[in-house]
Chain A
Amino acid sequence: MLQREGQVRIPSGCAIAAVTDRSGARFSGMDIIDCIALMHDRSNGLGGGFAAYGIYPEYRDLFAFHIFYDDNDARIKTEEFLFRHFDIETFEQIPTRKVKSIHQAPLIWRYFGVVPQSKIKKNDFDEEEYTARCVIRINNSIPGAFVFSSGKNMGAFKAVGYPEDVGEYYMLDEYKAHTWTAHGRFPTNTPGWWGGAHPFTLLDWSIVHNGEISSYDANRRYIEQFGYKCNLQTDTEVITYLFDLLVRRQGLTLETAAKILAAPEWDAIDRMPEAEREIYTALRVVYASALINGPFSILVGSKHGLLALNDRLKLRSLITAEKGTKTFFASEESAIRVICPEPEKIMAVEGGTPIFIPFAEVQD
């Protein structure tokens, strides 16, 4: 019998894309769907998904939980847990459209809530750490329940299917966001579990990734020392946790985190001026096990902004373009040109050189 994601490590190839408006203006999901649809051949119908930032302005201070349930029993157990640990303001089934190619859907619900002050006072950590722990708890201990989105004013939407069908299924044309990321998956072996589709998220981190990292187990065994549990055994999951550790928990900047994950080569470090050399040497020495090796291109969404990063040897394609206040990223140039035929600037993202686009004040 085929094993589900997490019971076995499933390598996969992919297409990724993102569009962001640096002014904070919000726009519908049509563009990102068209963009990822062009790269149809880079996925095989076994997983597609989107992350959208700025979609829930009316609930901007509430954690938005998107959850898959295998059955009602899982929902009841999870809701019991959620209502005990959060003040849930509102919840509903996520509206979907009937799409021919998408079937065997789980129950898909969303909840908006805040962490009760009493819980923060009782515990020794902030609301993000509290929420992260609750999410990990649900995913680890309630069978049939999987929280696939848990940030504020953002949400992930994913399913087993081609990404353009997934976009239609979730009616993303009816949402507005200032930043969209998308993912089409080409797993080499999967039973098609919805939770295994990408993006992978934790709090407001969302990651879409194309590649197969060879350093996976070194990264996994490192990050698990900090209390994370890599249940899905996917690259995306471990990369998300690395960003969460380095940026949220250890207070490094996103750019520094990028320089840890795709560290400069020693040859380059040896040639740096002394002050810089000291910093990069220390980063590589202390965070050696966080170095991601092998081919990857990733688009990382977070409350800080959007980060694009290629592996240091540039073993995966990733193109970026600009027009007006919009910045585009995609695995293929054609996918950008289909939604932005005449960009002002277009270039390949360089290996190991992060591109970071901070989020502006969101316009409602």
Chain B
Amino acid sequence: MRYTVPEFEVERNLQRCISCGACVRQCSYGVHYFDDDGKTVLADESKCVACHRCATICPTHAIKIKAFEMAYKTHFNWTPQAQQEILKQAETGGVLLSGMSNNKPYPIYWDKILLNASQVTNPSIDPLREPMEIRTFLGRKPKKLTFSADGSLATRLEPQVQLETPIMFSAMSFGSISINAQKSLAMAAKELGTLFNTGEGGLHPALRDFRDYAVVQVASGRFGVHKAYLEGSRFIEIKIGQGAKPGIGGHLPGEKVTVEVSNARMIPEGSDAISPAPHHDIYSIEDLRQLIWSLKEATQYKKPVAVKIAAVHNCSAIVSGVARAGADIIVMDGFRGGTGAAPTRIRDNVGIPIELALAAVDQRLRDESIRNTVSLVAAGSFRNSADVVKAIALGADAVYVASAPLIAMGCHMCQQCHTGKCNWGIATQRPELVKRLNPEIMSQRVVNLIGAWNHEIKEMLGGMGLNSLDSLRGNRLMLRGIGLNDRELEILGIAHAGQ
């Protein structure tokens, strides 16, 4: 007997159900099925994950997914969820797995920070009238420029990455997501003038035309890394850690390693793809330095090299070390960052919020007078353009988003990525599911989303009396805290609202 009860309930409005069977054919979890009469649609609710594919596609909106409500004797410690998780582990003996991102009600500092606007003493700027510049450059910068006697530039700049928006798509490997999902992001990146990130999955041949818009990752499993892969990229990212699961590696189960995945990753078909927790050639900062410079050497110093770390307690010191080790771009991924699969306990309990990590790191690099030599990219859950604006005012050069474009493509945060049964064709390799995601449509939806955010960023900039994002970077006077204590304000480096 299973001790767990279903999480969700399928409510079918029989006055509206036309028995077309779309729900039956669309549910990869096998929730909906026809009764013997071939007309009545029934549901096995224990299988439902609340991905809402059925409810979304139902032409008559006859389906509602509701919480399976059970009355429990009230206990603030032993919540129904806490009990359910114990029951699951008692049944399976396994580590609890989840997809997406930290699901605990920790403070979301973005919602406790307010933006400024100009009134009287300086004018707000109308973005419909004046150019609003959001162009962003990533890469190592010198502290000063020198010119020759003839007025030409004597300083040779290290390679810079030009972006037409401060928003990039963060790493999601082919394997963790489908080729169609990745292609949609690649197409959107090209149209938007930004970059997508291959994750540790190699570059699928179908994306060869998008190499100029690709960040290629070198992670602990080194999957898919070869000379052409590195040389074909816009920049290279060494992945040390991930916000959703700091301190642990990755595991793509053999059943997801299809022929195509095996080719892209350069591993045998059907074999588990295991990315170790540490890079086994990086046991210290000086080892990281060697890898950074090896990658630069391998690409004739034409590609910036980024290092991505998870936001953890002492990230300020770590980032300072990484900057000094030669990284051109440093990516910090906060504890609300997403993942295709992570142990639930790690996902929900390890790491720190990106807001605090970013503020602390930016200040630390300034205290050491090296902030402007490296680029800082913040990741770990940006839900809207206001989050992005606040991150830039705290000190980020750019941000990475992943969950937001996935939601634009249909993701409903059911957190079942690790099962590979994604009904939206995103986190799956099953051909019948992958084909559900048409990059023609989805790239446009992602372009719409980021385009809308760009517009909103420009509106907010204009309101603050700025017409260039350059003037917002690290401009913490534009921020005020609301309902934060002195310690939090001190770490964020902002005053409280009313001050």
Does B464 lie within 8 Å of A214, measured CB to CB? yes
Q: Does A57 reach chain B (CB closer than 8 Å)?
A: no
Which of B135, B157, B471, B476 lies in contact with A214, CB distance below 8 A?
B471
Does A217 lie within 8 Å of B478, measured CB to CB? yes
- Assess A286 versus B466: contact at CB under 8 Å? Given A9-B477, A214-B122, A215-B475: no
| Bound Cα distance A315, B371 (Å) | 30
Encode B427-469 as 1/0 by CB contact (under 8 A) with A.
0000000000000000000000000000000000000111110
Q: Does B268 reach chain A (CB closer than 8 Å)?
A: no
- Assess A286 versus B475: contact at CB under 8 Å? Given A11-B122, A211-B122, A293-B465: no
Does B464 lie within 8 Å of A278, measured CB to CB? no
Which of B131, B135, B141, B366 lies in contact with A286, CB distance below 8 A?
B141
Does A225 lie within 8 Å of B123, measured CB to CB? no
- Assess A289 versus B474: contact at CB under 8 Å? Given A282-B155, A294-B466: yes
Q: Does B60 reach chain A (CB closer than 8 Å)?
A: no
Does B472 lie within 8 Å of A218, measured CB to CB? yes
Q: Does B231 reach chain A (CB closer than 8 Å)?
A: no
Taking CB atoms, residues of chain B closer than 8 Å to A266 are: 131, 133, 135
Interface residues of B, count at CB 8 A: 41
| Bound Cα distance A293, B122 (Å) | 11
Encode A164-192 as 1/0 by CB contact (under 8 A) with B.
00000000000000000000000010000
Q: Does B82 reach chain A (CB closer than 8 Å)?
A: no
| Bound Cα distance A289, B147 (Å) | 20
| Bound Cα distance A287, B157 (Å) | 13
Does A225 lie within 8 Å of B467, measured CB to CB? no
Does B153 lie within 8 Å of A221, measured CB to CB? no
Interface majority SS on B: helix, strand, loop or mixed? loop
Interface residues of A, count at CB 8 A: 44
Q: Does B271 reach chain A (CB closer than 8 Å)?
A: no
Does B152 lie within 8 Å of A224, measured CB to CB? no
- Assess A267 versus B131: contact at CB under 8 Å? Given A278-B153, A288-B470: yes
| Bound Cα distance A211, B123 (Å) | 10
Of listed A224, A275, A282, residue having the most chain B CB within 10 A: A282
- Assess A286 versus B144: contact at CB under 8 Å? Given A225-B371, A315-B123: yes
Taking CB atoms, residues of chain B closer than 8 Å to A212 are: 121-122
Of listed A225, A250, A284, A287, residue having the most chain B CB within 10 A: A225
Does B137 lie within 8 Å of A285, measured CB to CB? yes
Does B160 lie within 8 Å of A313, measured CB to CB? no
Encode A242-263 as 1/0 by CB contact (under 8 A) with B.
0000000011100010000000
How many whole Å from B152's CB to the nearest CB in chain A?
7
How many whole Å from A219's CB to the nearest CB in chain B?
8
Of listed A218, A219, A315, residue having the most chain B CB within 10 A: A218
Q: In the complex, what residue of chain B is closest to A226 when comparing beta carbons?
A: B369
Which of B145, B370, B467, B473 lies in contact with A288, CB distance below 8 A?
B473
| Bound Cα distance A294, B475 (Å) | 13
Q: Does A216 reach chain B (CB closer than 8 Å)?
A: yes
How many whole Å from A220's CB to the nearest CB in chain B?
8
How many whole Å from A176's CB to the nearest CB in chain B?
36
Q: Does B361 reach chain A (CB closer than 8 Å)?
A: no
- Assess A286 versus B369: contact at CB under 8 Å? Given A214-B471, A217-B477: no
Which of B118, B141, B147 lies in contact with A285, CB distance below 8 A?
B141
Does B369 lie within 8 Å of A265, measured CB to CB? no
Q: In the complex, what residue of chain B is closest to A233 when comparing beta carbons?
A: B477
Taking CB atoms, residues of chain B closer than 8 Å to A356 are: none
Encode B98-135 as 1/0 by CB contact (under 8 A) with A.
00000000000000000000100111010000110101
Of listed B122, B131, B147, B475, residue having the most chain A CB within 10 A: B122
Q: Does A36 reach chain B (CB closer than 8 Å)?
A: no
Q: Does B146 reach chain A (CB closer than 8 Å)?
A: yes
How many whole Å from B323's CB to the nearest CB in chain A?
13
Q: Does B270 reach chain A (CB closer than 8 Å)?
A: no
| Bound Cα distance A206, B311 (Å) | 44
Q: In the complex, what residue of chain B is closest to A295 when comparing beta carbons?
A: B122
Taking CB atoms, residues of chain A closer than 8 Å to B146 are: 251
Q: Does A94 reach chain B (CB closer than 8 Å)?
A: no
In chain B, positions 359-375 with a C-beta closer than 8 Å to chain A are 366, 369-372
Does B152 lie within 8 Å of A275, measured CB to CB? yes
Q: Does A353 reach chain B (CB closer than 8 Å)?
A: no
Which of A222, A267, A313 lies in contact with B125, CB distance below 8 A?
A313
How many whole Å from B235's CB to the nearest CB in chain A?
15
| Bound Cα distance A292, B473 (Å) | 12
Of listed B121, B151, B471, residue having the most chain A CB within 10 A: B471
Q: Does A305 reach chain B (CB closer than 8 Å)?
A: no
| Bound Cα distance A1, B475 (Å) | 27
| Bound Cα distance A293, B467 (Å) | 7
| Bound Cα distance A222, B151 (Å) | 26
| Bound Cα distance A286, B137 (Å) | 9
Does A188 lie within 8 Å of B125, measured CB to CB? no
| Bound Cα distance A141, B271 (Å) | 68
| Bound Cα distance A278, B395 (Å) | 26
Does B121 lie within 8 Å of A293, measured CB to CB? no
Q: Does B142 reach chain A (CB closer than 8 Å)?
A: yes
Does B371 lie within 8 Å of A218, measured CB to CB? no
| Bound Cα distance A212, B124 (Å) | 11
Give me the interface of A with B, judged by CB distance under 8 Å.
9, 11-13, 188, 211-219, 221-222, 224-226, 250-252, 256, 265-267, 275, 278-279, 282-289, 291-295, 313, 315
**Can you list 21 A-B contacts with CB-CB less than 8 angstroms, sorted by A residue number?**
A12-B121, A13-B121, A212-B121, A214-B122, A214-B464, A214-B466, A218-B474, A218-B475, A221-B475, A224-B366, A225-B372, A250-B144, A250-B145, A265-B131, A278-B153, A282-B155, A284-B470, A286-B144, A286-B155, A287-B145, A315-B122
Q: A218-B474, A218-B475 are in contact. List 11 more A-B contacts (CB 8 A).
A: A214-B475, A215-B471, A217-B476, A221-B366, A221-B474, A251-B146, A267-B131, A282-B145, A285-B137, A288-B137, A295-B122
